Structures are given as structure tokens and as C-alpha cells.
Structure 1
Amino acid sequence: MTLSASLARGVAPTTPGTLHARTVTGELSAPPRPGLTVRFGRGEKPDVDLGVGVDDLRVSRRHGELTYRQGLWWLRNTGQQLVRLPRGRMMHLSTEPIPLTTGYTPLFVKGSGYREHLVELYVSGHDDQGPLSRRRAETIRPETWALNDDERLLLVVLGQRYLLYEEDPRPLSYATAAKQLSYLRPDAHWNERRIEHRIEAVRHRLDRTGFRYPLMHDKSQGRPGDNNLLHNLIKGLVESTTLVPPDLDLMEDDAAWPGSAP
């Protein structure tokens, strides 16, 4: 499959609700007919309608299916390996079916080792205009969030592992961050209590702006640890380029810090 053929570029106008699916080994379109099911996996026709991961024994012969009902296409994982959706959402064999929204949805079937097999999905809508070339259009800048100098320094210290793009990073503890901040700004009176207060204020403010990840406790789901919410905050700021690696320049002479993280 070439880049120019990707469903991410859109599809030609057709009946709203039509499902388009594509992998490196094939493609199909299916009308929005109640009860119609489209199956994908490593197997062959007629067991599956679309092949994916055909050379990977970790992919099930019938790994997933899409069924049209109640005016929507519903995705279900029927395989032994996980299916990954946008924003890191995972589907297991036991996960309830998930409805697809209009437009483009990439999903990835977990395979052997680090392999993941792409299945591109596109559900036609009323406003589809077909593939468009936007090569000369202005680039849309990432949505970033305003931070004052103290907030930026605090979040850079707490999130330095994220800015180094380490695998599976976690925030520094408030105790370690307080020691490093006291070294960097000895007159600012940083301590764990002040850090907690400032982080809570940032979370409250950004939560009202459509931040990508949850920043507040969901009482209906129980009370998660504050560290998970801090992880969401830093992850979202790094992914949006609100915080970028050059911000690490705010931290000078880190070799001499007390309590430096290993």
C-alpha cells in the first residue's frame, strides 16, 4: 500500500455510512446494511473478508469484525492478541464492541515481538469531498497551553524524563523535585507542599480548556492516584509541544543536584 493510497487522505463521495477498509494485502468497501458483518484476520476467504498480518502467527485467523447495526459500524476483537485504537485505547477479546465515528480510524493488530499490523478504516459521511491535496496549505500549529515561568520550570523538573523521550517515563517525586528546585531557585522556597498546590492549580485550569487527557478525579470511577493525573498532565504538555526538549536548558548544572534521579 502506497502512502498516496492511504484512507487517511479521504475517500470519494459515496453513500453515507459506507465502510472502507484497507491493509497492505487488500481493501474493500461495504454498504451500511443492517446485520452486515465484515471480518478481518490472517485467514483466507471465505473465513475473512480482509487479510491482515498474513505472515504472522500471532495474528488470529479471524482477528476482528465490524458489524453494521443501529446506524453505526461496531468493532469487535475476536482474536487472541490485543487491538490498539487511537489514543492508546486497547481492545481485548472480552472488550465490548466499540462504535466507529464518521471519518478515518486506524487500528493496529498486535503481532509477533514489536510488530503491529495496520488496518485502515473509513466511514463515509455526508460531507466527504474525496481526497484533497493540501501540499501548499498553511500548516496548522499544535495547540499549546500557556504556562508562567514558575509553572514551566516546575513541570520541566517533574517531567524531565518525558523531555528526554525515555521509554515509559514517570514523573519525579515531589520530594526529589523540591530538592532540585531548591538548588536551581534557592530564594523561591520550593517544597513538596508548594509543588502540590501549583500542580493542582495547573490541572484545574487546563482541565477547563479541553485538555487531551483527564486531569481531575472522576468520583464515579473511584479516586485515582495523583501521580496518574500528573502523568496525564506532563504527557499532554509534551505531546502538544507546550514543553519541548530545549526547555531542559532551564535546568543548569544538573550533575551537582542533590537527590538527582538515576
Structure 2
Amino acid sequence: MNVAHFEGAGAPPRKRPWTAPGALVVRALGNAAAAAPVEGAMLRFGRGRPGDPGKPVDVTVGVDDTKVSRQHGLLVHRSGWWHLSNTGRLPIEVGNHVLQPNGDAVPLRAGVTSALISTADRRHLVELCVNGSEGASPAPAFGLHTAPGHVWRLDERERLVLAVLGQEYLRNNPRAQPLARHQAAAQLAELRPGEDWDVRKMDRVVEAVRLRLSGQGVFGLVQSDLPQPIGNLLSHNLLTELAVTTSSLTSADLMRLEGAD
């Protein structure tokens, strides 16, 4: 297996192949590992220890917490993407998605993705970094000023549609999903009976926002960003960007929605 192990939670040394585009670096509290983007390459994390028989891992997480499985997560490179699977007994929170045990694998975008394993009183963090087209993990930013949060501008109609579609995100549901399209269109028609809302009209508004944000650099909002099958990931990623990653949609939008006649 083409995996290199490193002591400490810092990034591996900046040398090939770990600076190559598409290479994977996985970091936890006590160690790190890296793998080149080769078809079929694998990297595992969990409570086990590298080199141990039985259920070895490449990155150890939750070493003193028996609720973390010895092999809790598996990363496999296939068809040009790193895919994360949950091989443990507890869910893994990946960004704003909950990956259930033995559920479908999640593809990772370029950049850093946080994976959390939550037990009774603790949350164990694993950082998954996929190098972008220029290679190399992000450089440390110790001395830089904290960047201000970004807010995307939405007009009144866009705000209404997206608040209806994303109301579970505004309620801070950790497993939030977009409201079913026919339900969202029906609610819009009820809230604004004089505006002739239907699924197609709603879809056009959502698509316009997706394309606008994609054109300004937000990843995961168009089909070419994601592997098949896509399902509702485009809407999920849009709502996550608006309501979780930024504060472009807030609880105030939900309050207006619930207070509307």
C-alpha cells in the first residue's frame, strides 16, 4: 500500500508524492498519513495502531475511547476521487453530512474536510486534506488576520424560496436535507397565492442562485463538480453554503416564514 506515516498531527514533509495534485493527507491528534492519488489506493483511520495485526490503521484517532472502532473509516481512491466510507459502529460527521455505518461512500472535494466521530462525552476530529490542482496542502496562516465571514446577497424572492427549501438547515437539524420539491412548491403557493408558484418556477430560482455562486468559486453546485449519482447533493450543497458555511440565510428568515400568513 502506497501510504506514508508521520508522527505528530502536523502535515507530512512537503515533498513528492504528497505535494502532487489529488494526493491525500489525513491528520488526527497524534499522527498523520499521506497517500498518492493512485487508483485503488487506501488509507484507514480508527482506534487501532499502524502495523498492528488484526485491524491495523494508518491514522490513530480516539486511542483511549473504546466507543471508537478499531477501523472506523476507510478512504479509497477510485475514478479520480477519494471516497470516504464508514466502517465503524458510530456515525461520522463529514462537513455537514452524516455518514452512517455501512452507508454509501462520500466523495471528497479538494481542500480540507473535517470528519468527526462523536461518543458519549467526546468528539474526535480527523482532518482529510485533498490537494488541489496546484498540489500541496494549505500553508499555515499563523500570523495572518482573521478573515471576515462572507454573506451572499439574495433578493427577496430568492430568500423566500431558499428559506422554504432549506428550513431544516435553519432549524439546525444535524441531518438536514432539502424539503421535497413538491412540498416546497406547495408551501410557496400557500405563502404567496398570487404568484403562481410551482415546481418549475421554484427550480428556476434555485438554479439561478446555484449558477451565480458556482461562478464565484463555490464548489459542488454544478453537475461537473460531483461524481454520479448526484441525487439532491446540488441543493444540499447550496443550502449548506447559505445557512451553515455562511450566514446568508438565518433564523430570521425562518421566523418570517413561520410567521407569514
TM-score by length of 1: 0.57
Quote the Cα distance in structure 1 between the aligned partners of 2:234 and 2:130.
33
- Give the structure 2 partner of residue 17 of structure 1: 18
Any idea what SS the aligned residue of 1:104 has? strand
Q: Is the 8 A contact 1:38 1:65 kept in 2?
A: yes
| 1:142 matched to 2:146 | no
Q: Is the 8 A contact 1:84 1:107 kept in 2?
A: yes
- Give the structure 1 partner of residue 125 of structure 2: 118
Quote the Cα distance in structure 2 between the aligned partners of 1:96 and 1:155.
27
| 1:181 matched to 2:184 | no
Going from structure 1 to structure 2, the CA distance change for 1:174 and 1:74 (only over 3 Å counts) comes to closer
Shift of 1:131: 1.9
Quote the Cα distance in structure 2 between the aligned partners of 1:195 and 1:134.
51
- Give the structure 2 partner of residue 194 of structure 1: 197
Going from structure 1 to structure 2, the CA distance change for 1:15 and 1:68 (only over 3 Å counts) comes to farther
Shift of 1:56: 3.3
| 1:237 matched to 2:259 | no
Q: Is the 8 A contact 2:33 2:59 kept in 1?
A: no
- Residues 46-104 of structure 1 show CA distances to partners (whole Å, capped at 9, x for unaligned) of 32354222333332223345678999977665434444434527375475696x77653
Equivalent pairs, count: 231
- Give the greater-gyration-radius structure (CA): 1
- Residues 194-230 of structure 1 show CA distances to partners (whole Å, capped at 9, x for unaligned) of 25453122123234332666689x9x869x79xx987
TM-score by length of 2: 0.57
RMSD of aligned C-alpha atoms? 5.0
Shift of 1:118: 1.7
Shift of 1:112: 3.7
- Give the structure 1 partner of residue 70 of structure 2: 61
Identity %: 29
Bigger relative contact order (CA 8 A; separation at least 6): 1
Please give the residue correspondences for 1:1-262 in structure 2 after superposition, counting only pairs within 5 Å.
13-17=14-18, 20-24=25-29, 26-29=30-33, 39-44=44-49, 46-47=51-52, 48=56, 49-64=58-73, 77-88=86-97, 90=99, 92-93=101-102, 104-109=112-117, 111-112=118-119, 116-122=123-129, 126-127=135-136, 130-136=139-145, 139=147, 141-142=149-150, 144-147=152-155, 149-156=156-163, 159=166, 162-165=169-172, 171=179, 173-182=184-193, 189-190=194-195, 193-209=196-212, 210=214, 234-239=239-244, 240-247=246-253, 254=259, 257=261
Quote the Cα distance in structure 1 between the aligned partners of 2:78 and 2:257.
55
Q: Is the 8 A contact 1:213 1:236 kept in 2?
A: no
